[in-house]
Chain A
Amino acid sequence: MSLRRFAHRRHWDEERMREVEAHLAEEIDDNRARGMTPQEARRHAYIKFGNTTVIREEIRQMNSFVAIENLGRDIRYAMRQLLRNPGFAAIAILTLALGIGVNTAIFSITNGLFFSSLHIRDEARVAEIGFEQKSDSWQPNLSMPEYREVRDGTLNVFSEVIGERVGLDGLSAQGSKPDRVLTSYVTGNYFQMLGVEPLLGRLFRPSEGDTPGSDPVMVLSYQYWKQHFAGDPGIIGRQVALNSHPVTVIGIAPRNFRGLVTAPQVQVYLPVAMIVSIENEPLATLNKEENRSTHLFGRLLPGVSRQRADAALAVVARRLAAEHPDSEKGAALRSFPLYAGRLGDLDSQGIDVAAAFFLGLAGLVLLLACVNVANLLLVRASVREREMVIRSALGAQRSRLIRQMMTESILLALLGGIAGIGFGAWGSSMLSSVNLNTDLPVHFDFGFDSHVLVFSVGIALLAGAVVGIVPAIRLSRANLNLILREGGRGVAGGSSKFRDALVIIQLGSALMLLIIAALFTRSLAESTHANLGFNPANVLLLTMDPSEIGYKDPQTRDFYHELLDRVRAPGG
């Protein structure tokens, strides 16, 4: 086949058809010469020649890029079919959109929580360090003395080790009401080790954070800067108050860096030694071995595996246990892949199971949607049986018919997929802005990245294939004789068993989803009635943290006494 041929394919088609007509005319002449009636002569000529459409198609295929041409024609035909039955198309697309939308939303959450990039340099080379004592479970929290031991004892496996401790503080700018912020107290090498560059100003120097209370500087997260300082670049160099301590803003973190913990997002970064002044934590407490509240991360040296790092960590753990027999008895250290600690728990299996569970539920919803649409298509298929039979009688190949039906269902699913991505985006933004009723500044941000889009289009294609394959095969097998004898009323008898199976799957999975939903609702309802061990009637809960406005301990005590007195006073 050549391009020249392709360009002249219409001309060639006509030429061949003229030739075929001439052939048939000759044959008819011959037959008449043998004494047949005109009708008989014609009939015999056509029988002997075979199906002209098939032959025409065969020649045309030699002259063209059949696959592409056919695809274009199938898509146009499928569009016409959908437009002809707008009601059917709308229901099918909406059903699929719901199924795909739920999957997209759930996937965007799991993706956002567990698998999305943290936007740090060479993420795969960063490991989280876990601590275990007395065969408890692995914890991501260590103390500052342990941090120093780990940092100094693993120079041959980690190029750098960072520590991060999260706290809640009150931030007020220019005497305004303090705003509760999630603060991350980090070692001075934090940003340098992660390879994060400032959006504005500068980030911490390695020396900052060594001397207690000496570096009153702070870095804002991009999101907090946008929300509370309206993205004002003039904030750099200004002083704000954190728990009433003056702190200077020195820089803004880049937009896509949201810290190493994904669920609650860190809003403010400070050097670790500032804990002493800001949170009023005595230096002795900060340097206590048992005060384990710091997350440790290490960057593996080139060519070093996590196994080798674990060996080095084991040596450190043994030394710790030997040097501090009271506080470090039976201590063990190990490295974990970064994503394992994303929800603050190193038990990575839990995350996998949770992700699989929710994706499984979403998958079930999609399955239901698919079964529904497949059923609709099956019903329509029996209506269209006649069309298919006529087309195959006219010489359409079975594979062509199947391909055309599949084009229709995949087009349907892709349209559903587009609507579904819309649904999913709406759903995940709803979930992002959900109010968890907690003090924590939890801001979910389940953005749509390329992973989510690829996933959605992928499941749309899959749904299209699943939905279309059964009706397509059934239709292409439609029995010519049977249908013509039935006078075109269509036969649906053979499909009843399959449709029964579909209905059973549908009922089964719908029931399962209902039960799971009911269990969730019930345990939620139960938790409000749970026996707390006291009578919750007429009890109100009030939380406050006077330290966020800089109250020292004696002041706080006085404040609480006065508060109690006033509340007890009649009519107070």
Chain B
Amino acid sequence: MVRSKKEQELLLGTLDMLILQTLVFEAAHGHTIAHVIEQRSDDVLQIEQGSLYPALHRLEDRGWLTTNWGVSENNRRARFYRLTAAGRKQLKVETNRWQAMVKAIGSVMENVIRAAEQE
């Protein structure tokens, strides 16, 4: 559960990546995106749904997403977001960066874990 402001800020950097990732296979509207992220993370990442929209706006602004109005599963009008070619490239960039970071943090923490095991 992400509650505090600090945690939200931490998430903000990765939120863009998560959104882009959600849209890799098919276009989706905001509500779906929010639920997909929650479900795929086994409800660990419960984003405040509202914060999704400024992020979507920003991604669209940068040309990584395109949108059009469509009809949702529940027969409501909704704006669907689709990944652009630039967005796909950006997703790769962010994924690489993320993996490098995870690896780096992992190797730092490994030492700590080993030290803890030795004790």
Q: Chain A: residues with CB nearer than 8 A to chain B?
A: 1, 5, 15-16, 18-20, 22-23, 25-27, 29, 48-52, 54-55, 58-59, 62
Most B CB contacts (10 A, CB to CB) among A23, A25, A29, A52 go to: A23
Known: A19-B79, A22-B78. A55 touches B30 (CB 8 A): no
Give chain B interface residues in 52-83, CB to chain A under 8 Å.
53-54, 57-58, 61, 72, 74, 76-79
Per a CB cutoff under 8 Å, which of A15, A16, A23, A59 touches B49?
A23
A27: chain B residues at CB < 8 Å are: 31, 49
CA–CA, A15 to B77, complex, Å? 12
Chain A residues within an 8 Å CB radius of B58: 62
- Find A26's partner among B31, B48, B57 (CB 8 Å cutoff): B31
Residues of A within 8 A of B78 (CB): 19, 22-23, 26
Give the interface residue-count category, chain B.
Answer: 10 to 19
A residues less than 8 Å from B57 (CB atoms): 16, 59, 62
With A26-B31, A62-B61 known, 16 other A-B pairs at CB within 8 A are A15-B79, A16-B53, A16-B57, A22-B77, A22-B79, A23-B78, A26-B72, A48-B48, A49-B50, A50-B49, A50-B51, A51-B50, A52-B50, A55-B50, A59-B53, A62-B57
- B-side residues, CB < 8 A to A, are 29-31, 34, 48-51, 53-54, 57-58, 61, 72, 74, 76-79
Closest to A12 in B: B57
Q: Which of A1, A22, A49, A62 contacts B48 (CB 8 A)?
A: A49
Q: Which residues of A contact B54 (CB under 8 A)?
A: 55, 58-59, 62
Please give me the 6 A-B residue pairs with the lowest Cβ-Cβ distance, nearest first: A50-B50, A50-B48, A26-B31, A55-B50, A58-B54, A49-B49
Residues in chain B near residue A48, CB distance under 8 A: 48-49
Which B residues lie within 8 Å of A55 (CB)?
Answer: 50-51, 53-54
Complex interface: chain A residues within 8 A of B79 (CB): 15, 19, 22
Secondary structure at the B interface, as helix, strand, loop or mixed, is helix
Contacts of A23 in B (CB 8 A): 29-31, 34, 49, 53, 78
- Residues of A near B49 (CB, < 8 A) are 23, 27, 48-50
Interface centre among B29, B49, B74 (most CB of A within 10 A): B49
* Bound-complex Cα distance A133 to B30 (A): 92
Known: A25-B76, A50-B48. A20 touches B31 (CB 8 A): no
Instruction: State how many angstroms separate the Cβ of B116 from the closest Cβ of chain A.
Output: 38
Q: How far is the CB of B12 from chain A (nearest CB, A)?
A: 12
Return chain A residues, CB-CB under 8 Å to B50.
20, 49-52, 54-55
- The answer on a CB contact under 8 Å between B53 and A26 is no
Residue pairs across A and B with Cβ atoms less than 8 A apart, 21 shown, are A1-B61, A16-B53, A16-B57, A19-B53, A19-B79, A20-B50, A20-B53, A22-B76, A23-B30, A23-B53, A26-B78, A48-B49, A49-B49, A50-B48, A50-B50, A50-B51, A51-B50, A52-B50, A55-B54, A58-B54, A59-B53
What's the Cα separation between A50 and B77 when bound, in Å? 22
**Cross-chain contact of B76 among A26, A49, A52, A59 (Cβ < 8 A):** A26
Contacts of A50 in B (CB 8 A): 48-51
Q: How far is the CB of A20 from chain B (nearest CB, A)?
A: 6
Q: Least Cβ distance of A507 to chain B in Å?
A: 44
Complex formed: what's the CA distance from A52 to B50 in Å?
7
In angstroms, Cα B62 to Cα A97, docked, is: 51
- Chain A residues lying within 8 Å of B29, measured Cβ to Cβ, are 22-23
